[in-house]
Structure 1
Amino acid sequence: MMAHSPNGLMIRKLESIFSLCEEERQALARLPVQVTTFKADQDVVRIGDRPSQSCLLLEGFTCVYKLTAEGKRQIVAFHVPGDIPDLQSLHLKVMDNSVATVSACTLGFIPHEALHDICNRYPRITAALWRETLVDASIFREWMTGIGRREAYHRMAHLLCELRVRLTMVGLVKDQTFDLPITQTELADAIGASTVHVNRVLQELRADGLIRSKGTQVSILDWERLKAVGDFDPLYLHLRQDGNA
């Protein structure tokens, strides 16, 4: 069951990176959202698609990915509730990547026509959505730095730090514990390592007393040490808060 209304979750996420006034919050609350459920491992939009709506993630996790000619997958982003994974389709009419569910998901679809209308009427909402896409680009730059220059152990620590902060901003972390329904294969496709290496790295993080995991639940046991291991600075998330609350 959703802890937030579809529009309320979107507003909460946007307000983590942009200050909205009450009139703007009310306008966003009136946006039409068609809620649909998806199973795990389903494409939401594919490369080459020309969507007429953007999807708001309400429950679960999605990923953005691309495939090589040989069919090898690189995940270039994970999205958490409150995110709009294909917001760029509002202005880039042809998708240059695919968005897929990682877990069972609930998605809310917002027509582009409605998004264009609210942007025309509320310039600061345009700025908020623009900032959202700029933050996505900032996260991508940080991921590229990690894949190019950090060892797998440090890349995994960094990813866990990032997800902990992003989930905290939408109220999905309790007592340093959060749900992470991402398989080791998907983690491998995200950090550019083999599944065997990912398994070994997670074991090392547990053995070093940094995390505890049970099923899909992950608990951060030593936040400051995990940040140090992951070379994690939340600056690139451009939050209105420091991300440590």
Structure 2
Amino acid sequence: MVYSEQHSDGALLKGRTFDPDIEKFISTIRKRFDFSDAEAEKLSERITLTTTFDREEFLVREDERIHYSSLILDGYAARAKYNEDGSRQITQLQIPGDFVDLHSYPLEVLDHAIVALTPCTIAKLHHTDISELIDEDPRMARILWFSTMVDAAMHREWIQNIGSREGKARIAHLICEIHARSEVVGLADNGTFSFPLTQAQLGECLGFSQIHVNRLLRMLREEGYLTFKEKVVTIHKMEAFCDLANFDANYLYLSKRSS
């Protein structure tokens, strides 16, 4: 992993990029809350250290005590539970704009690992800074806590997806979710978005073998639902594809809150 210090160096205005670039996370907040430039600056000032991880490198190991939470700036990561033989179940995908372990602020130790599925760059928000942010602006506690509640909602949806959906519907639901989340952070355009997972990694998300993932993707392609080429997905029949997946984005809570 590689570390670098980057510091905020001026007032935040609409249209200005943050340094480090936390615009994607700000976009997720503003999808759900009114969030002023002053609040965005207050948050940005606390996020200064970036770290780069190679593919399959751990951001956080299970039972490791940590003192910061990680914001994905670039790349894909995952929450995962590992078995003694090294196999794993991926329990959630993390894309740019996600805080992957705000849970560690109250818990200090996670009961699962966080691993880079592609090369990743993260920014760190130290837990002492979270405490200071909340002391300065109690509303920040609700905004950060809300993020962890959405994570919990996604976990429940993933359990339902693996436990009660089969075949094409199961893989379609995952693709629909990542498309919806990518749209929020400006990484999807007219049904096309980056999805840089291998078929083996998709299998670890869905409880399928790599061979079965390959077969299902081929079926979805032949039926005209999507193309999956060079780690880019294009959904061609969005409404029909969401119907196939039984996908309802309500569990992502993408509408504005009352305060």
Q: Fold-level match, TM-score > 0.5?
A: yes
Query: Given the alignment of the two structures, is residue 17 of structure 1 paired with residue 35 of structure 2, yes or no?
Result: no
For residues 136-185 of structure 1, give each alpha carbon's deviation from its aligned partner in whole angstroms, at most 9, with x where no partner exists.
Answer: 00000000001110002111000010000000000001232111110111
What runs of 5+ residues in structure 2 fail to find an aligned partner?
1-16
Q: 1:180 aligns with which of 176, 190, 195?
A: 195
Per-residue CA shift, 1:198-241, capped at 9, x if unaligned? 11111111011110121111111110011000000000000127
Distance, in Å, in 2 between the alignment partners of 1:12 and 1:30 is 17
Call closer, same or farther: CA 1:71–1:155 in 2, change over 3 Å.
same
Mapped to 2, the partners of 1:64 and 1:10 lie a distance apart of 18
CA change 1:174–1:138 in 2 (3 A) is: same
* Counterpart for residue 194 of structure 1: 209
Instruction: State the partner residue of 2:173.
Output: 158
Instruction: Report the aligned-residue RMSD.
Output: 1.6
Q: Distance in 1 between matches of 2:150 and 2:199?
A: 26
Q: Structure 1 regions of 5+ residues with no counterpart?
A: none
Of the structure 1 ranges 113-122 and 27-36, higher mean CA displacement relative to structure 2 is found in 27-36
Match of 1:210 in 2: 225
One of 96, 108, 125 as aligned partner of 1:93: 108
Amino acid at match of 2:124: F
Matching residue within 40, 49, 54 for 1:39:
54
Q: In the comparison of the two structures, how many residue pairs are matched?
A: 240
Instruction: Give the equivalent residue in structure 1 for 2:7.
Output: none
Confirm or deny: 8 A CA contact 1:13 1:170 kept in the other structure. Answer: yes
Counterpart residue number, 2:246: 231
Name whichever of 187-196 and 63-72 sits farther off.
63-72
Question: What letter matches 2:168 in structure 1?
Answer: Y
3-state SS of the aligned residue for 2:177? helix
Cα distance, 1:3 vs structure 2: 9.9
Aligned equivalent of 1:48, options 50, 53, 63: 63
* Equivalent AA in structure 1 for residue 53 of structure 2: F
> 1:79: Cα distance to partner?
0.6
Cα distance between partner residues in 1 of 2:156 and 2:18: 31
2:126: which partner in 1? 111
Correspondence for 1:132 among 131, 139, 147: 147
Q: Is the 8 A contact 1:38 1:101 kept in 2?
A: yes
Question: 2:182 corresponds to which residue?
Answer: 167
Q: 1:51-106, CA deviations, whole angstroms, 9 ceiling, x for partnerless residues?
A: 11111000110000001234321000001111011110011011111001111111
TM-score in terms of structure 1 length? 0.93
Provide the identity percentage: 34
Stretch deviating more after TM superposition (163-172 or 106-115): 106-115
